Chains A and B, each alone.
Chain A
Amino acid sequence: MMDLNLDAPHSMGTTIIGVTYNGGVVLGADSRTSTGMYVANRASDKITQLTDNVYVCRSGSAADSQVVSDYVRYFLHQHTIQLGQPATVKVSANLIRMLAYNNKNMLQTGLIVGGWDKYEGGKIYGIPLGGTVVEQPFAIGGSGSSYLYGFFDQAWKENMTKEEAEQLVVKAVSLAIARDGASGGVVRTFIINSEGVTRNFYPGDKLQLWHEELEPQNSLLDILNAAGPEPMAT
């Protein structure tokens, strides 16, 4: 019965999304990290910072993606000092790609790099398993992304506003959470544009209900705890 396999490597089932809009990018992710069938962390932060203006969404093996993003953050810091100005999104994506491609036998991580720089504006680069780098107007990744291909084909449009783009990302992640067992928890979004970075947090119970989803009734958690926990601040 106990085939939870707590010794399985930590993987992030995940749904990660990166979307460009008129003036910047919006990155979104769920927050579930699983070890086998057990949710090891229900509030993880899968969007990590590489530089002030470039962030990366991580999926796949938790250890591999953390190490890759740590290395690239270090390289980019050095690069920024040498260059004398903020690193571009293209350079960040390329550094990730070099690590991912040259170590493709040992790494198991898919990443979406998104950011804003003054030369190209908002850009999204998808770097799936194997180490390809593809510049895309929007990118989806992780196990939950399988359920979103059709949705994005229909719902994505060029030149959205910031609010439209963020609502699209939140809706998409919440749809994936509804259907994918390995995605869940809360929805975190990052909006990156010329003004800077805005973090947003949407708790799981505040998301819209989809087909056959019910309102919580007589939930013991609601009864026992009057107020829910505050979002973690890093």
Chain B
Amino acid sequence: MDLLKVNWGRRKHSLFYYLFLASKQLFPLDLYLFSPNPFRFDQPSSSSRLFDFGRMSQSGVDVPAKGGFSFDLCKRNDMLIQKGLKAPSFLKTGTTIVGLIFKDGVILGADTRATEGPIVADKNCEKIHYMAPNIYCCGAGTAADTEAVTDMVSSQLRLHRYQTGRDSRVITALTLLKKHLFSYQGHVSAALVLGGVDITGPHLHTIYPHGSTDTLPFATMGSGSLAAMSVFEAKYKEGLTRDEGIKLVAEAICSGIFNDLGSGSNVDICVITKGNKEYLRNYMEPNPRTYVSSKGYSFTKKTEVLRTKITPLMERVEITEVGEAMEE
């Protein structure tokens, strides 16, 4: 059946890859570059293809590896860790992110703390990402992964809008995200709350790193999800007004901020209704700086300004209507 010949990011290994693997196993790292390598043996392509529709796997040896993850350095990293080197931790958003459906649309909320292990790396980061004029997405997990995945799907959605000439639908964004995350089998650590209002109505979905999705009237994700969910379970009801909804979302995020160590700082809220969206950045700031120096900031050495030149980065284009179109 022709339909079954779908390929999922198959990786073909080159000869060089086998040589590299062989050398890593047999020579210490500093000598590897200088020694000739007489060994050649076949390695089974273990996780190269994700979905097999019944054909025998072909081990191509001539095409260089492209796309997908390359786990070559994992052995080297393991060896370094064994020798005592500490791996740098990556920026995670500890996070509390929530979404709920109210009478006229969807409200998304998020905290603003980004952590790097035990350190707060960013006290006021933006976790509500733009996907389309009518669709926004909150992201929890590894900050790089959520940013990259939402940016990628956002541009795919824009191209799709140009092609179809219609507004994007939430379920399109959902399917694009879900397919991407599933094909990386959970290694792209992005847990997302996707919400928006399209022609079919308001929608709210959660997407997990392994690619499963749920459709819910209210949802929470991230390390503070339990704290926020307890607020929602106690107080959510259908048909909330805009103000009630915002108040409930703010309460849920605050519950995450104060009870979860991975979440903190301020509350961001995004309200999406039919034909309109409001991004309320720093809607609430329940954690102001305790001590503010009265002197303010001043830099020690005075910098002398030699010359000032301001270059506008974007030209403003004026469109003037010139009356009626010409008729024949």
Contacts and interface: CB of A to CB of B under 8 A. Distances in A.
B226 A66 contact: no
Contact of A78 (B3, B52, B53, B210): B3
A66 B212 contact: yes
Contacts of A35: 208
B217 A232 contact: yes
Contacts of B226: 4, 38
B50 A106 contact: yes
B193 to A, nearest CB: 12
Given A43-B216, A63-B182, A98-B53, A225 B210 contact: no
A39 B212 CA distance: 14
Contacts of A230: 238
A232 B52 CA distance: 36
Given A6-B223, A9-B210, A234 B182 contact: no
A130 to B, nearest CB: 15
A61 B185 CA distance: 12
Contacts of B51: 99, 103, 106
Interface string A29-65: 0000101001011011000000000000000011100
Interface string A1-42: 000101101100000000000000000000001010010110
Interface in B218-256: 223, 225-226, 234, 236-238
A10 B212 contact: yes
B296 interface: no
A41 B214 contact: yes
Contacts of B206: 40-41
B223 A225 contact: no
B52 A63 contact: no
A9 B214 contact: no
Given A6-B223, A63-B182, A67-B211, 20 more contacts: A6-B225, A9-B210, A9-B212, A10-B208, A33-B212, A38-B226, A41-B216, A61-B210, A62-B210, A63-B186, A63-B208, A63-B210, A63-B211, A66-B212, A98-B54, A99-B53, A103-B52, A225-B237, A229-B236, A229-B238
Interface of B: 3-4, 50-54, 178, 182, 186, 189, 206, 208-217, 223, 225-226, 234, 236-238
Nearest first, the 6 closest Cβ-Cβ pairs linking A and B are: A62-B212, A63-B212, A63-B211, A63-B210, A10-B212, A41-B214
7 contacts: A41-B216, A62-B210, A75-B3, A99-B53, A102-B53, A225-B237, A229-B236
Interface of A: 4, 6-7, 9-10, 33, 35, 38, 40-41, 43-44, 61-63, 66-67, 75, 78, 98-99, 102-103, 106, 224-225, 229-230, 232, 234
